[in-house]
Amino acid sequence: MSLLAQPFLAHAATPVLRFEGNHALAKKAVAILSGSLLLALCSWISVPMIPVPMTMQTYGILLLGVLLGWRLAGASVLLYLAEALAGLPVLAGGAFGLKPFLGPTAGYLVAFPLAAMLVGWCVERGWTRHVAGAFAIMLAGHVVIFAGGLAWLATFTGLEKAIAVGLMPFLAGTVIKSALVVATGIVFAQAKGRHR
C-alpha cells in the first residue's frame, strides 16, 4: 500500500477526540477553550511578512477540525476571535482589538472558522479515510482561508497585488502545514488507539 493510501484516522467518520458519557458538556467546553489557546500559541509562531504575516494559525485551525469535528472546531475558532476582539493579544504578532478585523487581514480572520468547520465536516463524513484524501481536504481548508483573505485584501491593494503578497509567498508553507496537520492527526489517532 502506498503512503498516500495509508489510513488517516482509525475511525474514518469521526473526529479524533470525542466527548461522550459523564461530564460530556464540561469536556466539550474545555476542548473549545483549549482549542482557542492552541490557536493563540500557533499565532505567536510567526514569520514577519507585509502586509500579512506567515504564522502557524492555519495549522492550528485545520488541526482543530481534525481533532474536534466541525461544531467544536468552529466554536473554538469563534472563541479565539472573540478573545482578540475583547483585547487579548492572541492574534499574529500579539495583535488584538477591532483594528485587525478592519485592516488587510480581516478576510483571513473571517474565513478561519469556515475552514475549521469545513475540515471537521469532511472528517465527520469520512472523506479523510486515507492520507491522500486528508491532505486534499487540508488544502481545501487553506483555499477557503485564502479566498476570504484575498477577497478582502484586494479591496486595499487590488487583486493582482493581493495575490502577489497575500497568496504567492504562502504556497510552500500551505503545502507544508497541510502535511503537518495530516501527520499530527495520525499521531493523535494512534495515541488514542493505544489508550483504548
Indicate yes or no: pTM above 0.85: yes
Q: Which tops the pLDDT comparison, 54 or 147?
A: 147
Q: Is the pLDDT of residue 97 over 90?
A: yes
On the 0-12 / 13-18 / 19+ scale of CB atoms within 10 A, 143 is middle
Q: Is residue 196 very low, low, confident or very high in pLDDT (cuts 50, 70, 90)?
A: low
Q: Is the pLDDT of residue 26 over 90?
A: no
CA–centroid distance for 152 within its chain: 19
Pick from 92-96, 181-185, 192-196: least confident: 192-196
Residue ranges of the domains in the chain? 6-194
Interatomic CA distance for residues 11 and 72, integer angstroms: 18
Placement of cell 493579544 in the chain: 89
Second CATH level (architecture) for the domain 6-194: Orthogonal Bundle (1.10)
Q: Is residue 112 very low, low, confident or very high in pLDDT (cuts 50, 70, 90)?
A: very high
Average pLDDT in the chain: 87
Q: Is residue 195 very low, low, confident or very high in pLDDT (cuts 50, 70, 90)?
A: low
Q: Is 63 left (phi over 0), alpha (psi -120 to 50) or beta?
A: alpha
The answer to whether 79 and 101 are in contact (CB under 8 A) is no
Report the pLDDT averaged over residues 105-128: 94
| Residue 73: predicted pLDDT | 96
| Residue 1: predicted pLDDT | 45
Phi and psi torsions of 109, nearest 5°: -60, -45
| Residue 147: predicted pLDDT | 98
Q: Is the pLDDT of residue 99 over 80?
A: yes
Q: Is the pLDDT of residue 81 over 50?
A: yes
